[in-house]
Amino acid sequence: MTGSNEFKLNQGPDDSISAVKFSPNSSQFLLVSSWDSSVRLFDVGGNSLRIKYMHTGPVLDCAFYDPTHSWSGGLDCQLKMHDLNTDQDTIVGAHEAPIRCVEYCPEVNVMVTGSWDMSVRLWDPRTPCNAGTFTQPEKVYTLSVAGDRLIVGTAGRRVLVWDLRNMGYVQQRRESSLKYQTRCIRAFPNKQGYVLSSIEGRVAVEYLDPSLEVQKKKYAFKCHRLKENGIEQVYPVNAISFHSIHNTFATGGSDGFVNIWDPFNKKRLCQFHRYPTSIASLAFSGDGSLLAIASSYMHEMGDISHPADAVFIRQVTDAETKPKTSHVGEEPLQIDMNSSIANTHVQPWTDVYLHSADDGQTLTARVFVLNPRGFNVQSMSDHKEQQHCESCVSLKPDYPEFLTEFPRLSHPRRKARRV
């Protein structure tokens, strides 16, 4: 199922998709690596395949070094650099076991690879050649660059923070706050922390500053869980991608759903429709206007019949990705608009923020109490016409279900309060 804001790429991979990566300076070009041993370069604007080059085994990750060079590695243990202008390969080097992760750090101008040989290696893209090998405690499952720091997630739920300017020692050694195997780590664009996901339908928001005051901010939450026949099914969270402008992030799970989260207000901003199969990889474009979604079965249930692997390109909006306006200082009082709010009293002309669960839109309104059993909502939003609600038990049928937030700091003399 696709809408007017989404389409499927033509000539996609013939096997499971391992990674999708946008060009750093353009939303036009997308790299896609696959278990069919290929790396493909797509022109997203024209929905066309521009280049396909091959490895001798399944490719597990790929990355842009610059707009004209890609790097990739996989089960053949070889690290390749490909010139996208001349369509020529260079084998830069190799690991002793499959290469699981490939990333570029622009601050230090170095390519980083992580492998199941329990090492991280740095590569000088100008030469190109190996610039150092650094032993990790376990197999490397995931890694992410945060400015000049490198965050590595390994087997055994270990997390290591390295300084790419001085790899002589590990800056921080941590254990994942989640109980089960780490699946993905991605750093905040503001470089202050990272998000970590596990195979048990959970996500943790972590901060790099080790001070106790900052560490108090970290938290974890459940996601990508479905109730089927009264039983909760828990799915791995396979993919994370940050919106570079808003610092919000998307997660993709084996339930086939993509969610977008506001980590600061601890809320889900929206959920897209269910995709045909597991979400294997996600990538926002550099300008945040597009999200590449790899729908690809990850063999969670073994070798069974499954929907075809595909990459979808979705145009995203600020309503889906931008944090909602909030008052700093206190948590707002949250009320389900379908339930009775007869016991809630709001003084006249208190600012209220209404968030639609259906379309993710936010509108600003003012509320005043008519009597203990009724109130009016006067909308000041561009999204909705002015509407009135005379009952505090239920809304009019033509008014969508809303989650209402009554900020307690809306006015120094006219605070919303609960009695």
pLDDT tens readout for residues 201-244: 999 999 999 999 999 999 999 999 998 888 999 999 999 999 99
pLDDT of residue 319: 93
Dist CA 263 CA 252 (whole Å): 16
Between CA 283 and CA 334, with CA 271 as vertex, the angle to 5 degrees is: 125
pLDDT of residue 158: 98
Dist CA 125 CA 107 (whole Å): 13
User: Do residues 263 and 248 lie in contact, with contact meaning Cβ atoms separated by under 8 Å?
Assistant: yes
User: Do residues 159 and 181 lie in contact, with contact meaning Cβ atoms separated by under 8 Å?
Assistant: no
pLDDT of residue 204: 98
Q: What are phi and psi of 321, to 5 degrees?
A: -125, -10
Residue range(s) in the chain whose domain bears CATH number 2.130.10.10? 6-321
Pair of tokens at residue 98: 């499959």
pLDDT of residue 303: 86
Dist CA 208 CA 214 (whole Å): 9
Whole-angstrom CA distances from 27 to 7, 30, 204, 333 are: 15, 8, 28, 39
pLDDT of residue 2: 65
Whole-angstrom CA distances from 274 to 226, 228, 256, 298, 348 are: 12, 15, 5, 16, 42
Between CA 221 and CA 231, with CA 227 as vertex, the angle to 5 degrees is: 105
User: Do residues 298 and 278 lie in contact, with contact meaning Cβ atoms separated by under 8 Å?
Assistant: yes
User: Do residues 307 and 296 lie in contact, with contact meaning Cβ atoms separated by under 8 Å?
Assistant: no
Pair of tokens at residue 378: 């006067």
pLDDT of residue 39: 98
Dist CA 313 CA 327 (whole Å): 34
| Domain 6-321: CATH architecture, name and number where available | 7 Propeller (2.130)
Residue 285, classed as helix, strand or coil, is coil
pLDDT of residue 376: 39
Whole-angstrom CA distances from 117 to 78, 97, 150, 335 are: 13, 5, 18, 52
pLDDT of residue 74: 98
User: Do residues 97 and 115 lie in contact, with contact meaning Cβ atoms separated by under 8 Å?
Assistant: yes
pLDDT of residue 90: 96
Dist CA 104 CA 125 (whole Å): 9
Dist CA 68 CA 46 (whole Å): 18
346 alpha-carbon distance from chain centroid: 37
Pair of tokens at residue 221: 């939450």
pLDDT of residue 324: 81
User: Do residues 77 and 95 lie in contact, with contact meaning Cβ atoms separated by under 8 Å?
Assistant: yes
pLDDT in tens, the chain (419 residues): 567 899 999 999 999 999 999 999 889 999 999 999 999 999 999 999 999 999 999 999 999 999 999 999 999 999 999 999 999 999 999 999 999 999 999 999 999 999 999 999 999 999 999 999 999 999 999 999 999 999 999 999 999 999 999 999 999 999 999 999 999 999 999 999 999 999 999 999 999 999 999 999 999 999 999 988 889 999 999 999 999 999 999 999 999 999 999 999 999 999 999 999 999 999 999 999 999 999 999 998 888 889 999 999 999 999 999 998 653 333 443 444 444 433 343 333 333 444 444 444 444 443 433 333 333 333 333 333 333 333 333 323 333 333 333 333 333 333 333 32
DSSP per residue, 201-240: SEEEEEES--SHHHHTT-EEEE-SEEEETTEEEE--EEEE
pLDDT of residue 331: 40
Closest CA relative to residue 7, chosen from 315, 284, 288: 315
